């Protein structure tokens, strides 16, 4: 079960990360103003960093090594992305995040649908990996 989940995470991270990078470098509309959360980066650089975090999470999911470290890497990827979104909510930043904007434009998603997709991706990274990590520590997962 854990291997299937990690494979799905790798595919999701690869598709979203590469998709965001490709669409990001093709667009000129994304501002070079400072990101409201990561104030030391421009919005464009913050989006590149988010895409790279997803790609790192995808590579951690399929890297050789023990299962616990792979699950912990996926969990940390989700926690990083979730912390960014929670910071935006906590400080009441009104303007929508540009995350997943490129993919949303390609598949014609609205603002609300993009927001839902963003939170579904974060939940899909955090909740199953935390549960599988706990099961692994209790010895309920088969070694594979």
Q: Which pair of tokens denotes residue 110?
A: 């609205």
Could you tell me the two tokens for 97?
A: 């995040």
pLDDT tens digits for 59-68? Answer: 999 998 888 9
Report the percentage of the chain scoring pLDDT > 90.
Answer: 48
Q: What are phi and psi of 28, to 5 degrees?
A: -115, -5
Domain limits, the chain = 2-138
CA 116 to chain centre: 13
pLDDT, one tens digit per residue, over 86-119 is 998 898 887 778 888 888 888 898 888 988 999 9
């Amino acid at each position: 079960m854990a291997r299937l989940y990690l494979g799905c995470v790798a595919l999701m991270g690869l598709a979203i990360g590469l998709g965001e990078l490709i669409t990001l470098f093709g667009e000129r509309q994304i501002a070079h103003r400072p990101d409201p959360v990561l104030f030391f980066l421009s919005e464009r650089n913050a989006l590149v960093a988010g895409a790279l975090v997803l790609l790192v999470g995808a590579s951690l999911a399929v890297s050789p090594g023990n299962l616990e470290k792979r699950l912990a890497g996926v969990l940390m990827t989700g926690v990083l992305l979730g912390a960014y979104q929670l910071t935006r909510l906590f400080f009441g930043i009104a303007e929508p995040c540009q995350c997943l904007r490129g993919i949303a434009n390609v598949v014609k998603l609205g603002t609300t649908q993009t927001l839902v997709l963003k939170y579904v991706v974060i939940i899909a990274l955090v909740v199953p990996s935390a549960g599988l990590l706990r099961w692994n520590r209790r010895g309920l997962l088969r070694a594979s």
